[in-house]
Amino acid sequence: MFVAGRRESDRRPAGDQSAGSRLYVLDGLRIIAALMVVAFHLLAYDGTGWTTSVKGHFPSTYLLSYYGWLGVQLFFLISGFVICMSCWGKRVGDFAISRVTRLYPAYWFAVLVTALSLWLLPGVRDIPTLSNLAVNLTMLQDAMGVDRVDSVYWSLWVEVRFYLLFVLVAWKGITYRRLVIFCLGWTVAGLFAAKADIELITTIVMPEHCWYFIAGIALYLIYRFGPSALLWTIVAGCFLLGQHFLVAAHRSNQFYAGYKAPLWPALILLAVIFAVMAAVAVGLTNSISWRWLPTAGTLTYPLYLLHEDIGWIFIRHTERRLHPYVIVAVLVVGLLIVSWLVHRWVERPMGRWMRRKLKDSLEDIRLHSQLNTYNITGKLSELESLSQPYDPRASARTTAQREGRDASE
């Protein structure tokens, strides 16, 4: 019965978001991942918001909150899973439109609001120049070597590179076989890039992050087509290789947090993250359908974009007036409300408008490409007829036939 249900889901139209096909649990996991990152930055990170150490403000929670940085790894796993779910059956142009309209509206809003906040209330970080702000609006600041308006944007550059690599699959159409080949090829490339240590290859292949996207893709294939030894081997291999690079990430986050933290909880949490996504893949979470989860999921992206620098500005101006836990509670509630407003009044209307305009542009490209193909084909036909050798007998027969028709008329 379980396999039959899975096969039936394969016959749903691509992109179907009906209640029967939506995985509500992924919305819940998204908001959990976002709150994990928020907890790391606000409760465990000695950033420029708090004037005294978080150890003093949150002696019982700062160490637990420290491991919230693994929310980004959870995001990457979900992204690999969801990109297959949402783009199966789409042409590469439609895939590109879906990603652009998903990422940019809230991002543009966050960049402008964060920059304005830093200009009006300076002190928590360098004020962005107009030139840097302009580059940040493209989401390509890391590629250009330009300072980010907000440091959390680093993960967006990772996502953009993943989408560009995924075009290799979407170009010819997403299939089970092509995705497996893509996963295996990216794995080999990741191992090579880690060993070669060539900057250009490392930038493209992302050996420190690719394991989560690859595992997410393999888990989606398990969800859609059923488990296989090869797919589980890909997932397990990604976990084993990913934990190696997690050690370096742990050292980096210790440096930014400003204190030492044990490594083993990070490894255990990573194993839990993989286990939860595996449970999603085999259908153990299909019965979860709480109606509030999709709404919670829509808050995730704006919350992630807005929380750090704006949060630090709020902390800097309230630290001496309110209890630290009250500050964080008010801040998180306020950010969640603002995130919903951004989704309702920025993401949805701007996304619809952009989608309509980009689809029109895509149709124009396809239409003119077809016309050019038609014109070229027609001209080639004329050239072919002109290039035929002259045959006097064939010409005489054609003339006689024409004269016969004229006489009969």
Closest CA to 207 of 222, 196, 219, 223: 196
**Higher pLDDT pick, 403 / 276:** 276
- pLDDT at position 105 over 60: yes
- pLDDT at position 19 over 70: no
Closest CA to 3 of 227, 254, 195, 153: 227
Residue type for position 55: K
- pLDDT at position 17 over 80: no
Return the minimum-mean-pLDDT range out of 116-130, 328-342, 377-391: 377-391
pLDDT at 13: 37
Kindly state the tokens that stand for 82. 């969801």
**Pair 265, 44: CB distance under 8 Å:** no
Average pLDDT, the chain: 88
pLDDT at 388: 53
pLDDT at 5: 39
**Maximum C-alpha span of the chain:** 110
- pLDDT at position 18 over 60: no
What is the phi/psi pair of residue 124, to 5°?
-90, -25
pLDDT at 20: 40
Mean pLDDT of 119-138: 94
Give the C-alpha separation, 63 to 44, whole Å.
7
Note the pLDDT tens digit of each residue in 354-367: 999 999 998 888 78
Residue found by looking up tokens 């060539």 in the block: 198
What's the number of CA atoms in the CB half-sphere (13 Å) around residue 369?
A: 6
Kindly state the tokens that stand for 163. 């989408």
pLDDT at 257: 87
Q: At what angle do helices 154-170 and 71-87 cross, to 10 degrees?
A: 30
Note the pLDDT tens digit of each residue in 226-256: 999 999 999 999 999 999 999 999 999 998 8
Mean pLDDT of 15-31: 73
Whole-model pTM: value is: 0.86
**Pair 42, 181: CB distance under 8 Å:** no
Return the minimum-mean-pLDDT range out of 33-37, 177-181, 375-379: 375-379
Cα angle for residues 72, 75, 79 (degrees, 5° grid): 145
Mean pLDDT of 104-116: 98
**Higher pLDDT pick, 388 / 15:** 388
- pLDDT at position 161 over 60: yes
Q: How confident is the model at residue 43 (pLDDT cuts 50, 70, 90)?
A: very high
**Pair 280, 223: CB distance under 8 Å:** yes
Q: How confident is the model at residue 379 (pLDDT cuts 50, 70, 90)?
A: low
- pLDDT at position 306 over 50: yes
- pLDDT at position 318 over 50: yes
pLDDT at 375: 60
Closest CA to 113 of 350, 343, 342: 342
- pLDDT at position 395 over 60: no
pLDDT at 283: 96
- pLDDT at position 193 over 60: yes
pLDDT at 409: 45
- Mind giving me the DSSP string for 321-362? TS-HHHHHHHHHHHHHHHHHHHIIIIIHHHHHHHHHHHHHHH
